[in-house]
């Protein structure tokens, strides 16, 4: 499964990866160091387990 980090981090539209029908600045988003907090990592682990996507 592919999940945009912007969704995991619960970011707003300002962090979009791509804006259709535009040129320039698409695909330039980068996650800042430290953005994946313990809370976000725990949420991702929970969702991965809930939907059977966790590696064992």
pLDDT, tens digit, for every residue of 2-36?
788 999 899 999 899 888 998 888 888 999 999 99
The pLDDT, as a whole number, for residue 1 is: 65
The pLDDT, as a whole number, for residue 41 is: 93
Indicate whether this model's pTM tops 0.85: no
**pLDDT of 52 over the 70 cut:** yes
Query: When comparing pLDDT for 31 and 54, which is higher?
Result: 31
The pLDDT, as a whole number, for residue 46 is: 92
Task: Please state, in angstroms and rounded to a whole number, the distance separating the CA atoms of residues 50 and 19.
Answer: 31
């Amino acid at each position: 499964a592919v999940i945009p980090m912007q969704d995991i981090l619960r970011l707003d539209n300002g962090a979009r990866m791509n804006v259709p029908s535009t040129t320039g600045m698409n695909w330039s988003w980068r996650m800042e160091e430290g953005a994946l907090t313990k809370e976000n990592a725990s949420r991702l682990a929970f969702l991965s387990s809930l939907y059977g996507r966790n590696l064992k």
